[in-house]
Amino acid sequence: MRKIVLTLAVAAVAALSLTGCDSIDLTKQDQAATGAEAPAAGTGAPAPAATSAAPSAAANVAGVKVRDDATLGRVVTDWKGWTLYRFEKDTPKPPKSNCEADCLAKWPYVPYVENMKIEGVDQKLIGKVTRADGSLQLTINSWPAYRFAGDTKVGETKGQGVGGTWFAFTPEGKKAQAATGDSGGGY
């Protein structure tokens, strides 16, 4: 199993280097936020450095909560405090993610986790969507949820307003209105 995971990781790094895309290492971001190494899924052992742009179980989003942002007001974060975003090119009814390939390098999707902790968001607004590859993505008010690779510290909202299509989630699953992020680049 480890050989397969390593082979896939090497293939992902090769693919990203060929496309010239930046990747995000959610495990290292999470370690920086908590000061601890993330355990490998189901082993309790330290996880090897993640190199794939798409999050895995190593990202370990244990839930969602709400925090007050000085510019945006109340926004939704994962349990560790990373701001969660929605993409206006996705669809909520039916829920569908339109962020694939290069997009995921900058906007890794938030995996859906059964029995996650939910604080400050109505339980009825929390759901999941099956991505094209069969993985499950968290939805809030039917909108797929993402993190932004440009947020390098817990609590940052640099993804807000990027390309006029990326917005932090409010606790109601709506888009935060104040724009503080880069206005160019789309994704």
- 126-156 pLDDT, tens digit each: 999 999 999 999 999 999 999 999 999 999 9
Residue 181 pLDDT grade (very low, low, confident, very high; cuts 50, 70, 90): low
CB-CB contact of 166 with 88 (8 Å):
yes
Buried/exposed 74-101: b ≥16 CB within 10 Å, e otherwise: bbbbbbbebbbbbbeebebeebbbebee
Residue 137 vs residue 15, higher pLDDT: 137
Residue range 24-61, pLDDT digits in tens: 444 444 444 434 443 333 434 333 333 334 444 434 44
Does residue 63 have a pLDDT over 80? Answer: yes
Does residue 22 have a pLDDT over 90? Answer: no
Does residue 103 have a pLDDT over 60? Answer: yes
Residue 186 pLDDT grade (very low, low, confident, very high; cuts 50, 70, 90): low
Share of residues in the chain with pLDDT > 90 (%): 60
Residue 121 pLDDT grade (very low, low, confident, very high; cuts 50, 70, 90): very high
Q: Measured between alpha carbons, how far is 59 from 16 in angstroms, rounded to an integer?
A: 19
pLDDT attached to residue 178: 66
Full-prediction pTM beyond 0.85?
no
Share of residues in the chain with pLDDT > 70 (%): 62
Does residue 185 have a pLDDT over 60? Answer: no
Residue 91 belongs to what H/E stretch?
strand 91-92
Residue 104 belongs to what H/E stretch?
helix 102-106
Other CB atoms within 10 Å distance of the CB of residue 172: 13
